[in-house]
Amino acid sequence: MEFVFFLAAAVKAGTCLLYATLGEIISEKVGHLNLGVEGMMQMGAVVGFIAGFTFGNPYAAVLCAAIAGAAGALIYGFLTISLKANQVVTGLTLSIFGVGFAAFFGKNFVGKKVPEAITTFFAPIKLPVLGDIPYIGQIFFNQSIYVYFSYFLVIAIYIYLYKTKWGLNTRMVGENPVAADASGIPVDKYKYFNIALCGALCGLGGAFLSLVYISIYPVNVVSGRGWIAVALVIFAMWNPGKALLGAYFFGALDIASFWLQQYTLPVSIYLFTALPYLATVFVLIFTSMRKSSNKKEPAWLGKNYFKEDR
Amino acid sequence: MLHIVKKDVPKNREKIVVRLSAVLAALAVASIIVLVAGANPIELYIGIFQGCFGSVYRFSATIEKMVPLLVLSLGVMVAFKMRFWNIGAEGQFQMGAVGTTLVVRLLPDLPLPIMLVLMIVASFAFGAVWLMIPAFFKARFGTNETLFTLMLNYIALTLVTALQYDFWKDPAANGMPKIANLPENALLPSVSGFNLSILMAVVIILAMYYFTNRSKIGFEIAVLGESENTARYIGINVTKTIIIAALVSGGLCGIVGMMQTTGVSGALSTEITGGLGFTAIIVAWLSGLKVPFVVVNSFAFAVLLQGASYIQTAFQIPGSVAEMIQAIILFFILGSEFVLQYRFVSDKTKSEVA
C-alpha cells in the first residue's frame, strides 16, 4: 500500500514536468529548440501565484500563468523567428530572464500561503468508477483537477500533432520549412502559434508547482525542473504519450531520494538525482544509433528558416 | 512589398554603433524595472561603473570575474567553430574543479609548483574527457551534441553534490555539507589582489589566437565547421578533428575549474560555476567566434557581473534585478544582429538585382 502512495505522489510530482514537456515537444516539432523552459516555468509559477493570491480565483491564476509563459515564449519567438537570432543563445537568455523575473516579483510573496479557495479547488477529487479500480484508481484517479487536465492535454496534443491538418503542417515546418513554404504553408505563423502554445504550457507547469504542489511560496519554486523537462522531451522521443510515462518516471526519481532516506542503501542517495539525465543520455545515443526518423529530433531543429535562402 | 535580404559582411564600425545602440535601448527598457525596484536608473547605471572601476580593489574584482569567463568563452569558441554546439561548459568547469580537488586529496603534501602543474593537467584532462564523451558519439553516430552536453552539465552537478554531501564532506565542518578548503600549498599565488590566473589567461589568449588563426588543426576545424563534405574531400580526418577540438574545448573549460578552486573559492562546491558556463556560450556567440572580440566581450560582461554585485550592496537592490538587466541587454544585442545581417528592400529594387 505504501508503494501505491509513492506512485500517486510520483504522478503528482511528474505533472509539472508533463505540462512543460508537452510544450517543449510542440516547440521542437515546429523546429525550435527553446532552452528557455526553465525561465517560462518560473514566470508562470510566480505570475500564477501572485494572481491567485490577489484574486483568490483559480481560473484567473491559471490563465495569468499561461499568459506569462506565452509572453516569455513570444520574446524568444520574435527574436528567433522574425530576427533570426540563434535559438540556443536566445533560449538560455530567456532562462536567465525568467529566473530573475520570478526572484524579483516573487520576493514579497515568499512565505505566503496559497489562498484557501484555490487549495480547495485543486484538492484531490476521487473520480467515480475509475477511482474505484484497485491500485490504478488510487494512483491516477484520486488526483487534483490540474492533473486530470494534463491527461486530457496528452490526448488533445497527440490528436493535434498527428491527426489534424494543422499538426501535419506544424511537423512539416519542423522537418522541412523549405518544402512547407513552397507548398503554401505560412511558416512563420505556424512557428509563432506553436511557440506561444509551448510557453503557455510551460507557464501552466510552473503554476502547478506554485498553486498545487506546495502550500507556502518558497524562494525558488521551479528550481531546475525546466531542464529536466528539456531532457524529458528527448527521453519521450518527441511523443506526447511517452512524455506522460516519462514524466511520472522522472517524477518518481524526483521524490525517490526523499522516500529512500528510510532505507540504508549501498550508494549515495545524491547520485539518484543524476538518473533522469543519465537515462536521457542513453536515449539520445540509442535513437541516434537507430536510424528510424520518426523517433529522432525534427530535421530542422535549432536551425532558423530564412525564406530568401530558398 | 518589402523583402528581407542578406547584407554583405558589416564593417566593424557599423557593428560597434549597432551594438552600442542596442545596449542603450536595453538600458532604457531596463529602467522600468529599476524604477519598480525603487531606485534611480541613472544613478544605478553610474553605480555599476563605479563598482567596476571605482578603486583598485574593485577593478581587480572585475578582472577576477573576467578571467574565468574569458577562458570558458575561448573554450566554447573552439567547439562552436566546428559547429559543434558545446553547451556543456558548466559541466566541464565542474569536472575540472573535481580533478583539481582529487589531485590535492591524493597527494596533499606536494610543493606548490609541482602541485600547480599537476592540478592544471588534471583539470584539463577531466574537462576534456567530459566533452570527448559526447564528441565521440557525435563523430560515430551523429548523436545530438547540444542535448548531450546539456545533460552532462547536470550529471556533473549531481556528482559534485554527492561529493559535497557525502564522499568528500569535511568532517571538521560540524555537519555543514562542504568540502574542506584546499591547503596553502595548493592555492594560486597572488600579487596585490591579482592572482596568477591572469597570467594563465594571457598565455591561453595567445595560444588560442595562434591555434585558431595560424595552426593547421585550427584551419581543419574551421573547414569542418563550414562543410563536412569539403573537409572529407580535401582529406581531413573528420573523427580525429572532432576529437581534438573537443579535447581543447573541454580542456580549457576544465582549467577554469582549477583557476576558480585554487584562486577564488578555495574549495570545490556546487556553486562554483555561478552559471558562467552558460554566459560563456553567449559571449562566444556574440563575439562572432573571434579571439579578440571574445576578450573585449568577456570584459564587458565582467563589468556587468561586478557592477551587479556592487549595486546589490550599495543600492540594496536584489540580485534578481541585475539578472534581468543582463538578460534584457542580451535580448537587445541578439535582436540587433538582425540589423547587421539583413536589410529591407522593396520589390522594385529586388527585381533589378535579379
Q: Are B328 and A268 in contact (CB < 8 Å)?
A: no
DSSP E strand stretches across chain B: 2-6, 190-191, 194-195, 342-346
How far is Cα A80 from Cα A65, in angstroms, rounded to an integer?
23
- Report the sign of the C-alpha dihedral through residues B7, B13, B16, B17, in that order: negative
Q: Which chain A residues have a beta carbon less than 8 Å from that of B161? A: 270, 273
Q: Which chain A residues have a beta carbon less than 8 Å from that of B142? A: 288
Q: Are A89 and B281 in contact (CB < 8 Å)?
A: yes
Contact A16, A285 (CB under 8 A): no
- pLDDT tens-place string over residues B46-91: 998 898 998 888 998 899 999 999 999 999 999 999 989 999 999 9
Q: Amino acid identity, residue A292? A: S
DSSP per-residue codes, B176-210:
---BPPPPGGGSPPEETTEETHHHHHHHHHHHHHH
Q: Which chain A residues have a beta carbon less than 8 Å from that of B165? A: 268, 270
Q: Which chain B residues have a beta carbon less than 8 Å from that of A37? A: none
| A257 phi-psi bin (left φ>0, alpha ψ -120 to 50, beta other) | alpha
A90-99, A111-120, B6-15, B261-270: range with lowest mean pLDDT? B6-15
Comparing B354 with B239, the larger pLDDT belongs to B239
- pLDDT tens-place string over residues B93-111: 999 999 999 999 999 999 9
Please tell me the distance in Å from A89's CA to the nearest CA on chain B: 6
Contact B193, B56 (CB under 8 A): yes
pLDDT band at B353, cuts 50/70/90? very low
- Would an 8 Å CB–CB cutoff place B239 in contact with chain A? no
Nearest Cβ partner of A93 from B3, B161, B282?
Answer: B282
Q: Which chain A residues have a beta carbon less than 8 Å from that of B151? A: 231, 277-278, 280-281, 284
Residue A94 structural domain: 2-309
Residue to substitute from B168, B328, B330, B338, interface A, most A β-carbons within 10 A: B330
Provide, rounded to the nearest whole percent, the portion of chain B with pLDDT above 70. Answer: 96
ipTM, two decimals, is 0.90
pLDDT, residue B347, reads 62
Q: Could you tell me which chain A residue has the CA closest to the CA of B4?
A: A308
CA distances from B263 to B63, B64, B100, B116, B253 (A): 13, 9, 12, 11, 15
Q: Which residues between 10 and 49 in chain B have a beta carbon less than 8 angstroms from any beta carbon of chain A?
A: 33, 37
Contact B99, B253 (CB under 8 A): no
Q: Which chain B residues have a beta carbon less than 8 Å from that of A79? A: 331, 334-335
Q: Are B33 and A284 in contact (CB < 8 Å)?
A: no
How far is Cα A248 from Cα A236, in angstroms, rounded to an integer?
11
Q: Are B275 and A92 in contact (CB < 8 Å)?
A: no
pLDDT band at A292, cuts 50/70/90? low
If you average pLDDT over residues A267-284, what whole number do you get? 82
- pLDDT tens-place string over residues A72-83: 999 999 999 999
pLDDT band at A226, cuts 50/70/90? very high
Q: Are B324 and A101 in contact (CB < 8 Å)?
A: yes
How far is Cα B204 from Cα B219, in angstroms, rounded to an integer?
18
Q: Give domain limits for chain B.
A: 68-276
Residue to substitute from A50, A75, A104, interface B, most B β-carbons within 10 A: A104
Length reported for chain A = 310
Nearest Cβ partner of A100 from B85, B154, B324?
Answer: B324
Residues in contact with B287: Cβ distance below 8 Å, sequence separation at least 6, in sequence order: B73, B77, B293, B294, B296, B297
pLDDT, residue A171, reads 94
Q: Which residues between 302 and 341 in chain B have a beta carbon less than 8 angstroms from any beta carbon of chain A?
A: 318-324, 326-328, 330-331, 334-335, 337-338, 341
Residue A11, C-alpha cell as written in the block: 504522478
Please tell me the distance in Å from A233's CA to the nearest CA on chain B: 10
Please tell me the distance in Å from B333's CA to the nearest CA on chain A: 10
Overall number of domains in chain A: 1
Q: Are B147 and A284 in contact (CB < 8 Å)?
A: yes
- Would an 8 Å CB–CB cutoff place B344 in contact with chain A? no
CATH number for position A117: 1.10.3470
Nearest to B151 by CA among A282, A15, A189: A282
Q: Are A270 and B161 in contact (CB < 8 Å)?
A: yes
Q: Which chain A residues have a beta carbon less than 8 Å from that of B76? A: none
Nearest Cβ partner of B334 from A33, A90, A227?
Answer: A90
How far is Cα A256 from Cα A276, in angstroms, rounded to an integer?
12
If you average pLDDT over residues A107-115, what whole number do you get? 92
* DSSP annotation of B252: H
The neighbouring-strand residues paired with B195 are: B190
Q: Are B318 and A96 in contact (CB < 8 Å)?
A: no
- pLDDT tens-place string over residues B266-321: 899 998 988 899 999 989 988 888 999 999 999 999 998 898 888 888 888 888 88
Q: Which chain B residues have a beta carbon less than 8 Å from that of A309? A: 6
The cell 523549405 sits on which residue? A178
Nearest Cβ partner of A308 from B3, B158, B286?
Answer: B3
Q: Are A104 and B324 in contact (CB < 8 Å)?
A: yes
Q: How many CB pairs under 8 A join A and B?
A: 151
Q: What is the mean pLDDT of chain B?
A: 89
Nearest Cβ partner of A285 from B137, B326, B330?
Answer: B137
pLDDT > 70? residue B354: no
B13-40 burial string, b = 16+ CB within 10 Å, else e? eebeebbeebbebbbeebbebbeebebe
Please tell me the distance in Å from B265's CA to the nearest CA on chain A: 23
3-class DSSP assignment, residue B5: strand
